Structure 1
Amino acid sequence: MSELRGQLHEQRWDDHRYYHHSVINQSLHFVSAVTFIVAYLIVWREPAIAALLGWGVAMTSRQAGHFFFEPRGYDEVNDCTHEHKEEIKVGYNLVRKVILMALWAAIPLVLLLDPTFFGIFVPHVGVLEFLDHLGKLWLVLGVGGLVFRTVQLFFIRDVDTGLVWATKILTDPFNDFRLYRQAPAELTRRALARLPARAR
């Protein structure tokens, strides 16, 4: 167990030090963490709503932080290139995230074109039924993405790495809440410091 805890600490540390330099990204991860925790609380009673929150708010804010606010150049802090970081990334690096987010974006389009979604659903009537079906499909995508990468890691790394990564992903909202809870206040402080004295 101590070895697995050590691996979990290492994966979390690598994720933090390599991919969370920007205070904007950290703030967006805090928003994501709070939203995911709410989704966890309601998922057993309202799975579709939980998935809509998870994908529509938590994942979009989380990935926007990575795609738009993290530097892609040489990492002076960690003395490594962006390419090196992407190569050693255990979970979903940016290339894999693009594929995952493309699937996420494609699902509502397919559901609009085929309201049965290849025969799975009775065609929706109205926006609420559409959102219910969409939420259920996004929930399957989320669980499927987690299981797929976990099992893939079993084969390309080892079982321990896959299990530790899955544990990290499932507990990231709580860890991110702890790590980045001060980030929104810091971001606000920096923004206020840039304002002219009269505007403060």
Structure 2
Amino acid sequence: MEIQPLLNYIKKEIDLTPDEEALLTQKVIFRTYLKNQFIIQQGDVCKFQCFVISGCTKTFYADDDGQEHIMMFSIEDWWASDMGSFITQTAADFNVQCLEKTQVAMFDYHDMETLCKEIPKLERFFRIIIQRGFVSLQKRLIRNFSLPAKERYLYFRNQYPKIEQRIPQYMLASYLGITKEFLSKIKSQILLEQ
């Protein structure tokens, strides 16, 4: 599997020397998951932070009734894991499941700790991506509290056009916090307005 997409992503924030790239390459694990396979399941400890090279995943919480509450989707050049579980090495609150055949570059928890000690600027890199993820989550919460469903859908469609065409509508509805029937009504209304 090709490490270049990961290196290109990292180089947007920090410069690595050839020796640092070689060390990083030694610590990365590549894995291919089939459609519907889980990268992590609720209750298990998240051992890996995953960078999506190709494919699509959903991160969700399943409640006691088996209802899925989708928190996010991850496609190429995005990260997928249960960050709380990974950082604390405790039981995961979320599932990460592949919606397509998905190839990932994985960092083992202990290897990531070693890499950050041996390449200190990687610690800065991971801090930046965690901060961005946190800000994104905060903004999503504000949108969910303040915007009507139609506006949330339009935001998603405009912000993530590559995702909508790759996921079933019932999953998008779950992400938006509405029923699939209501999402269909919203989409019909938008078509009539055009």
Q: TM-score, normalised by structure 1?
A: 0.32
Q: Specify which structure has the higher proportion of strand.
A: 2
Q: Specify which structure has the higher proportion of helix.
A: 1
Structure whose CA Rg is larger: 1
Q: TM-score, normalised by structure 2?
A: 0.33
